[in-house]
Amino acid sequence: MRIRIAAILRLSLCAVVCLCPLLTRAEGVGILVPEVRGPYWQVYRNIIDGVKAEFQNDAQHFVISSHTSPAAVQQWLDKNEITALVALGNECLAHVPANSQMPVVVGGTILKPGGESLAGITLNPSPQLLFEGLVAIRPAVRDIHVVFEEDYNGWVISRAQTAARDLGLTLHSHPVANLREAAEGYRTIQDQMKSDTAALWLPLGGPSREKSILQEILEAAWEHDQIVFSSNLADVRRGALFALYPDNEQLGRDLALMLKEMKQHKTVTGTLFLSAVHKAINLRTAEHLGLRLRKEQLKEFELVYPPQ
């Protein structure tokens, strides 16, 4: 059963919220956000809106540019009596004072190896939700293949193994050290992969992000009627069957709930996978694979490509 982070955290907080007032402006909730333009700013704007919605608009945000100094950040923290922070992106995390004892949660970024010890939500979609989405579209799938670099996605794949077992699936993980090994690995997998009971997963980051490799993967999948699904929305437009991508406002709410938990219970949640997600599907690919989705199934996808 799909369980969102928000639901989990709300259950753990409900008793406390009834007895304790919400964090207020006087308690200093801050959001550090990177300076970006265009559609990227809208992504962060939506996350900020989600955080502020949970704190009844009492949270404040501070934009970090390439010229922002540690002194400027500290001055803003002191002036606004900030005692708890949401840091969006690695650049903003780097601007949290090194000696700070305040609760900090991290979001809006891919947390790399070592980052799983941080309190926050990585942009890596929950493997459980990905695998559930796969089985919903193709129930016959029993094997999932993934090529990855240990230094980049090792911790993600380790947790994904558990998610696969819980769903009765087998995750075949193929670690590689460089792009040459990755290209060879994908070719070997796709030459042997059974199109009716197996699928290929493209995680965030790693060798599948190389354009030439990605194009070869998708061309081979089309030729051999193989399912490729992804943790990256852009891959759906290129031909992957489906992907999960962030619901940014809900992500902001989930980060705020984590911060409340840390503030009220003095505990560190650790890194969670993204479960505030939208679904995208490529209907052209689905039709090519002989998949016929019912209207009720299509309603579950926020983005359908090509546009209908």
Q: What angle do CA 148, 238, 219 make, to 5 degrees?
A: 75
Q: What is the pLDDT of residue 27?
A: 62
Residue 107 near residue 251 (C-beta atoms within 8 A)? yes
259 and 225 inside one domain: no
Q: Rounded mean pLDDT of the chain? A: 88
Whether 1 shows a pLDDT value over 50: the answer reads no
186 and 210 inside one domain: yes
Q: For the chain, how many structural domains are there in total? A: 2
Least confident range from 166-175, 241-250, 265-274: namely 265-274
89 and 215 inside one domain: no
pLDDT band at residue 131 using 50, 70 and 90 as cut-offs: very high
Identify the residue with better confidence: 83 or 308.
83
Average pLDDT over residues 41-68: 94
Alpha helices in the chain (DSSP H): 5-19, 39-54, 70-79, 90-94, 127-137, 150-166, 179-192, 211-223, 234-238, 248-265, 283-288, 295-298
SS3 assignment for 173-193: EEEECCHHHHHHHHHHHHHHC
289 and 234 inside one domain: yes
135 and 240 inside one domain: yes
Least confident range from 44-48, 90-94, 112-116: namely 112-116
Rg of the chain over all Cα atoms, to the nearest angstrom: 21
Average pLDDT over residues 93-113: 88
How is residue 308 written in tokens? 């209908």
Q: What is the pLDDT of residue 114?
A: 67
Residues 6+ apart with CB under 8 A from 299: none
Whether 235 shows a pLDDT value over 60: the answer reads yes
116 and 258 inside one domain: yes
147 and 229 inside one domain: yes
Whether 56 shows a pLDDT value over 70: the answer reads yes
Average pLDDT over residues 35-60: 93
pLDDT band at residue 26 using 50, 70 and 90 as cut-offs: very low
102 and 141 inside one domain: no
Q: Which of 165, 100, 145, 133 is CA-nearest to residue 2?
A: 133
Q: What is the pLDDT of residue 111?
A: 84
77 and 31 inside one domain: yes
By CB atoms closer than 10 A (0-12, 13-18, 19+), residue 148 is: buried
DSSP 209: G
- Name the pTM for this structure: 0.87
Which residues are paired to 143 by β-bridges? 170, 198
Least confident range from 24-33, 36-45, 97-106, 176-185: namely 24-33
How far is 304 from 150, CA to CA, in rounded Å?
Answer: 33
Least confident range from 10-14, 55-59, 112-116, 172-176: namely 10-14
Model confidence over 177-233: pLDDT tens digits?
999 999 999 999 999 999 999 999 999 987 878 888 999 999 999 999 999 999 999
167 and 296 inside one domain: yes
Helix (H) or strand (E) holding 280, with range, is: strand 277-282
141 and 222 inside one domain: yes
CATH number at residue 184: 3.40.50.2300
Residue 228 near residue 218 (C-beta atoms within 8 A)? yes
- Tell the residue number behind the tokens 């670099």, with chain if given: 149
How is residue 22 written in tokens? 């919400």
Q: Which of 33, 24, 34 is CA-nearest to residue 83?
A: 24
Q: What is the pLDDT of residue 46?
A: 97
110 and 218 inside one domain: no
Domain region containing 61: 5-124+246-277
How far is 25 from 80, CA to CA, in rounded Å?
Answer: 8
Query: Using CA of residue 148, residue 150, residue 153, residue 159, what is the dihedral sign?
Result: positive
How far is 133 from 127, CA to CA, in rounded Å?
Answer: 10
Residues 6+ apart with CB under 8 A from 3: 275
Model confidence over 286-304: pLDDT tens digits?
999 999 888 888 999 999 9
